[in-house]
Amino acid sequence: MQVCERMNVNRIEKGGAESSCDKEESNRCQEECPIGTYGFQCAQTCDCHNGAKCYHVNGACLCQPGFKGIHCQERMCPEGFYGLKCNKRCPCNITNTLSCHPLSGECSCKPGWAGLYCNDTCPVGYYGEGCRAPCPCHNGADCDSVTGSCICAPGFMGDDCTIPCVAGTYGTNCSSVCNCKNDGTCSPVDGLCYCKEGIHCDNICSQGRWGPNCSISCSCENGGSCSPEDGTCDCAPGYRGPLCQRSKIENQLLIRNFP
């Protein structure tokens, strides 16, 4: 600040008129350095920890309550304790916690953990420090709350879960092999077989069934069986008709009695 102002004064003393640039420089030197910097032209970077600020002139650290040391790196209380007398035990989950505040006991969680006591993993879709980073995954995938690596939903694979399972595979990471027969295809998600019409993917439709996935009941009467493909009736001996509902004897009697 004093350097800039003195330079402007010297210019005036030497008979020079103060320009708008001189005034701008002087005004600039009235402002403090941006947060995190200090020194001549604010070129130095502060080295303060635990939320401490640094003095913009010489970089001296101004510690937050509960911390001490040149760089505010030391806790007033031993690790694991907090309070004015350092006699309260930190309530945080030690495994998932970086530290607890020496005065308030507030828990600072490790990356991938959240909650008042760092007992919770990141919400679905987020990971990392403070659980602020969105997962880089697709197609309904979640990610590891610490590393962000994708955990693909069934039916997909790849680093970001954008690659669908190849034909004949299904499930998590597409690691299961379809077991459909008779040229059936399977769902890449759960392996459910999609069958050709009239064909069960494991075997031919059982007696009395036909149609897609053998889902339709046959309508044939008098012991007749139906085609698994189109449901047409194959009548038992002595019967005829679309549904095998007429006997051949009845048909012969009708013919004889017809004038």
Q: Which domains does the chain have, with CATH numbers?
A: 2-68 (no CATH), 77-120 (2.170.300.10), 126-194 (no CATH), 209-257 (2.10.25)
> Given a cut of 80, is residue 14 above it in pLDDT?
no
Query: 156 pLDDT band (50/70/90 cuts)?
Result: very high
- Residue 221 CA to residue 235 CA, distance in Å, equals 8
Q: How far does Cα 63 stand from its chain's mean position?
A: 38
The radius of gyration of the chain's CA atoms, rounded to the nearest angstrom, is: 41
pLDDT of residue 30: 65
What is the average pLDDT score of the chain? 80
Higher pLDDT, residue 22 or 238: 238
Lowest mean pLDDT among 85-89, 114-118, 192-196: 192-196
Three-state SS across 32-70? CCCCCEECHHHCEECCCCCCCEECCCCCCEECCCCEECC
Q: How far does Cα 101 stand from its chain's mean position?
A: 30
H helix or E strand, kind and range, residue 226:
strand 225-226
pLDDT in tens, 36-45: 898 888 999 9
- Name the phi and psi angles at 94, rounded to 5: -60, -40
Instruction: Give the tokens for residue 24.
Output: 């701008």
72: left (phi over 0), alpha (psi -120 to 50) or beta: left
> Given a cut of 60, is residue 22 above it in pLDDT?
no
Query: 201, 209, 170: which is closest to 188 by C-alpha?
Result: 170
> Given a cut of 50, is residue 195 above it in pLDDT?
yes
Lowest mean pLDDT among 61-70, 109-118, 247-256: 247-256
Query: 255 pLDDT band (50/70/90 cuts)?
Result: very low
> Given a cut of 50, is residue 236 above it in pLDDT?
yes
Higher pLDDT, residue 190 or 161: 161
pLDDT of residue 27: 54
Percent of the chain with pLDDT over 70: 80
> Given a cut of 60, is residue 64 above it in pLDDT?
yes
pLDDT of residue 68: 81
> Given a cut of 80, is residue 102 above it in pLDDT?
yes
Higher pLDDT, residue 52 or 211: 52
pLDDT of residue 249: 55
SS3 category, 204 = strand
SS3 category, 12 = helix
pLDDT of residue 199: 58
